[in-house]
Amino acid sequence: MRYYENLFIINPHLEGPALETLMGKIKSEMSDAGANLLKVEELGKKRLAYQIKHQKYGSYVLLIFESEQSAAVRKFEDWMNIQEDVLANLTVKLDEKPDLTKATVLDDPSNDIIDNQ
């Protein structure tokens, strides 16, 4: 079994039911592609280093999943790339099984890049 992380940025204006609908579609597509979702972490809204699709801010979400086939990961990435509300995404293969009990470094508020000025 291979383990992967996918960090994606979504439109910051998606909140409430619209965000839940998008997350449901993502989970559904992941299972259709043949991947098993292990963990979802919503990391919050942050200022982007540069505008993506005319957005200065984005909401970050981290997915940790496992899959037997790399074709399933490619299929999921292709699907993510055509989603209108997904500004950017990146998937990396992990060397070992992730510790799902640990908090992600990005969860630390001191890492927040939003200017409070």
Task: For residue 42, tell me if it sits in a domain.
Answer: yes
Task: For residue 102, tell me if it sits in a domain.
Answer: no
Angle at 45 between CA 39 and CA 48, to 5 degrees: 110
Model confidence, pTM: 0.80
Q: What is the CATH number of the domain that holds 56?
A: 3.30.70.60
Cβ neighbours, 10 Å, residue 31 = 14
Task: For residue 60, tell me if it sits in a domain.
Answer: yes
Task: For residue 91, tell me if it sits in a domain.
Answer: yes
Count the domains in the chain.
1
* Residues spanned by the domain of 66: 2-95
Task: For residue 105, tell me if it sits in a domain.
Answer: no
Task: For residue 115, tell me if it sits in a domain.
Answer: no
Helix-, strand-, coil-residue percentages of the chain, each rounded to 5: 30, 40, 30
Task: For residue 35, tell me if it sits in a domain.
Answer: yes
Closest-CA residue to 14 (of 57, 47, 73): 57
Two tokens at 117?
Answer: 């000025």
pLDDT tens, position by position, for the chain (117 residues)?
Answer: 899 999 999 999 988 899 899 999 999 998 888 889 999 999 999 999 999 999 999 999 999 999 988 888 999 999 999 999 999 999 999 998 888 887 555 545 554 544 443
- pLDDT at position 6 is 94
- Looking at residue 102, its amino acid is K
